[in-house]
Amino acid sequence: MTNEAATIINRLKSIEGHVRGVEKMVEEGAYCIDIVNQISAIQSALHKVNALVLDRHLHTCVTTAIRGDSPAERERVIDEIMGVFNAKSKN
């Protein structure tokens, strides 16, 4: 496992723990704003993981495709990335 992958896995495990904490807060009837604040922190952490994964993808898969000999593969990875961003803009 690469150092980047280990970093991503560790962040995901931390997020998993925080989600369990929120679940427990809901079960125990914690103050709603406290729950909302915790969920917001989880969303921020997921955003950071998403950025790390995207950075990894751009520096590996996309770079390889763009430097490669296949125009179809270049278009595929560009369309793939655009699809991700277009889906995000709809939310």
pLDDT tens digits, one per residue of 9-32: 999 999 999 999 999 999 999 999
CA distance 85 to 55: 14
Helix, strand, coil % in the chain, rounded to nearest 5: 90, 0, 10
Q: What is the CATH number of the domain that holds 20?
A: 1.20.58.1000
pLDDT score of 90: 77
This prediction has a pTM of 0.82
Instruction: List pLDDT tens digits, range 30-61.
Output: 999 999 999 999 999 999 999 999 999 999 98
CA distance 10 to 1: 12
Q: Give the residue among 4, 1, 9 at the shortest CA–CA distance from 60.
A: 4
Residue 22 near residue 38 (C-beta atoms within 8 A): yes
Q: How many domains does the chain have?
A: 1
Rg (CA), the chain: 18
Domain range for 28 = 3-90
